[in-house]
Structure 1
Amino acid sequence: MKQLFLFGAALTILAAAESCKGKTSYDKTKSGLMYKIISDEKNPVVKKGEFLKVHFQQKVRDTVLMSSFTSLPEYIRVDSVGPEYSPLEVFTMLRKGDSLVVAQITDTLEKKGMGQLPPFMKKGDHLLLTLRVLDVFKDEAAVEADREKEAEAFKEGEVKVLQQFMASKKINAQPAGKGVFVEIQQQGTGAVADTGKTVSVMYTGTLLDGTKFDSNRDTAMNPTKQPLTFTVGQQQMIPGFEQGVKLLSKGAKAKIYIPSMMGYGRRPMPGGKGYDHLIFDVEVVDIK
């Protein structure tokens, strides 16, 4: 509850910064970076070499450029940083439970070597970062343990989304393991595509809303319409695709439903936003 209150205060400052940039009260680093830390100061300040576990959001005007609040937290190693007009300057001042707002002026970013501004940024804009410190870890081993725990919990939530989607469409799919589901539409013959076997497939990949992002059946994407051939178990494909194909034999036709954590993760597919759940409509042409 305390962290939510602190972050709510950070959002209030962020809103004030957007609506009335000149009147918002910021502190400044030696480089001129504007920042505001909201803290109850009950926890110790992070030490050099430790790691911050954070959720963050970055905006320009009303456009959200990046955000982790609906996905997975980030982990940032804290080191001493001299004046360089970067949020890294401020991270050494943070504590567990703190919220932070950082405002970078685009004109200053350009002067300090950012180069030409991207199309979504104009002179006089403020690049606004809002960040909440969830935890502090002393070493990489603790970070990796927590990262795995967060990823597993996130994947469980994704699987529930897939299950709800399939239930709403009355899709009869069987679990293939690791959060992947397979709807077999035509049974094949012979042995299934087990580890070590070379598999050739025709496929079409879509998002849950039907947006097509890849297909070797589409001549615009694959002029020769050649099958995709790969060896199962050699990590040549995304994990969810391999996991689903393992249930299929030669001649099988199926749809494979894949949570984003077994797909492309945060990388957005064409037409997607990152952390996209995937559907692959596949036909197994051959298994050797």
Structure 2
Amino acid sequence: MRFSSRSARQLALAAGLLGFASLTACNKDTDGGAYAKTKSGIEYKIFKKVGDKYERRELAATGDPTYKDRVGKFLLGHMEYRTGKDSVLQNTRRDVGLPVPLPLQELKQKGMPDEALSLLQPGDSGVFRFQVDSLIKPKSGQPVPPFLKRGGNVVMMYVATTNKLITQAEAQAMQPELQKRAMAAQMKQRMASPEYAKQMQAQKAEQAKMLATPAVQAQLKKDDAILQEYAKKNNLTVQKTPSGIYYQVLKPGTGPTPKPGQTVSVNYIGTLLSGKLFDSSEKTGKPIEFPIGQGAVIPGWDEGISLLNKGSKAILLIPSSLAYGSRGAGTDIPADSPLRFEVELVNIQ
């Protein structure tokens, strides 16, 4: 969905970050009386909180004269976009669980979500109704998405703000946490789709097919003998998974084990069995983060890390077929190299 001018940026800000509990009573067109209308065509109802209830707040025809004092700052609030037929497009409370920064900018174009936000004071809640044709200009060459046509050619925006204004620096400081939560929500939504299940089945089938080839089976047997000898020589008390990974828990964790799709944070030291270091999280000074079971790392890591509780430290001995295989990795990891990793599962998001 692409809207003209700054409405696109506003929707991008809200994307994956949009919800409501406090505006339940305001979500129906019949509540709070008829819509008022700005000169630019935005239909709106604005409410201020009085005690435990919301009361309608009227605006002057010229808008809110106090807005100039808020330009450059950010409201904190929850947002929701819906079609005219009440299908939820985006929802911050559901997907993020925290109030998100809503920018208060100089208004260079009227009739857009930026102008709607300019009508709100801290603590206000609002219901705004936009005609799709005002957001997607015919001259832009962008067609109206079919789902918006089916939704009545209307976009509804609901906003519930806190009593606090924040600075740009404070808003930027919130972004890493908001992005993590948004990514987790997107991953959860993706995992719930039938397409995801089919993709995971196909990925597992492809991996099983690869592991069943004579060449890989021969290499697995060779690697298994090497790893058993290595574990014995280094006095490791290891367990073996059906796929051929050996692991030893050095320090048990007390938290849960990660589930497919969850993002984990892992400190690690990777070496060849000769002891040569080829990689470490110490190089970046922070744990590596990746989603479990998505093919973002080598298969041995997807499986090995999923065996550990949050807080665990462990040794993983990974056969080459579940690492970098016959291709190796650059100049540091030769072809058909079994690998050793010392890992710490720092966090599960």
Q: Deviations over 1:63-95 (max 9, x none)?
A: 332222131543233134266221211222222
Q: Distance in 1 between matches of 2:120 and 2:21?
A: 17
Q: Distance in 2 between matches of 1:56 and 1:215?
A: 35
Identity %: 21
Inter-CA distance 148–104: structure 2 relative to 1 (3 Å threshold): closer
Are 1:53 and 2:76 an aligned pair? yes
Equivalence for 2:217: none
Structure 1: where are the runs of 5+ without partners?
1-6, 170-177, 198-204, 218-223, 232-248, 261-276, 278-288
Which letter maps to 2:144?
A: L
Equivalence for 1:92: 118
Q: Residue 120 of structure 1: CA displacement?
A: 2.2
Which letter maps to 1:58?
A: Y
Q: Deviations over 1:88-120 (max 9, x none)?
A: 112222222221221112244345656311232
Equivalence for 1:11: 24
Q: Distance in 1 between matches of 2:177 and 2:282?
A: 31
Which letter maps to 1:141?
A: A
Equivalence for 1:263: none
More helix by share: 2
Equivalence for 2:257: 166
Q: Distance in 2 between matches of 1:116 and 1:88?
A: 22
Q: Distance in 2 between matches of 1:229 and 1:128?
A: 52
- 8 Å contact 1:26–1:36 — kept in the other structure? yes
Equivalent residue pairs, number = 204
Which letter maps to 2:154?
A: H
Equivalence for 2:339: 251
The aligned runs of 1:178-193 (5 Å cut-off) are 180-181=265-266, 188-192=273-277, 193=279
Inter-CA distance 109–149: structure 2 relative to 1 (3 Å threshold): closer
Equivalence for 1:129: 157
- 8 Å contact 2:76–2:166 — kept in the other structure? no
RMSD over aligned Cα, in angstroms? 5.2
Structure 2: where are the runs of 5+ without partners?
1-19, 52-65, 186-253, 284-288, 300-324
Query: Secondary structure of 1:190's partner?
Result: coil
Are 1:34 and 2:122 an aligned pair? no
TM-score by length of 1: 0.50
Which letter maps to 2:265?
A: V
Which letter maps to 1:31?
A: S
Equivalence for 1:25: 34
Inter-CA distance 216–165: structure 2 relative to 1 (3 Å threshold): closer
Inter-CA distance 226–11: structure 2 relative to 1 (3 Å threshold): farther
Q: Residue 152 of structure 1: CA displacement?
A: 11
- 8 Å contact 1:206–1:213 — kept in the other structure? no
Q: Distance in 2 between matches of 1:182 and 1:253?
A: 10
Q: Residue 10 of structure 1: CA displacement?
A: 2.5
Q: Distance in 2 between matches of 1:168 and 1:207?
A: 9
Are 1:67 and 2:91 an aligned pair? yes
- 8 Å contact 1:49–1:138 — kept in the other structure? no
TM-score by length of 2: 0.43
Query: Secondary structure of 1:58's partner?
Result: strand
Q: Distance in 2 between matches of 1:117 and 1:39?
A: 34
Inter-CA distance 226–13: structure 2 relative to 1 (3 Å threshold): farther
Structure 1 segments of 4 or more deviating over 6 A?
152-155, 253-260
Are 1:117 and 2:144 an aligned pair? yes
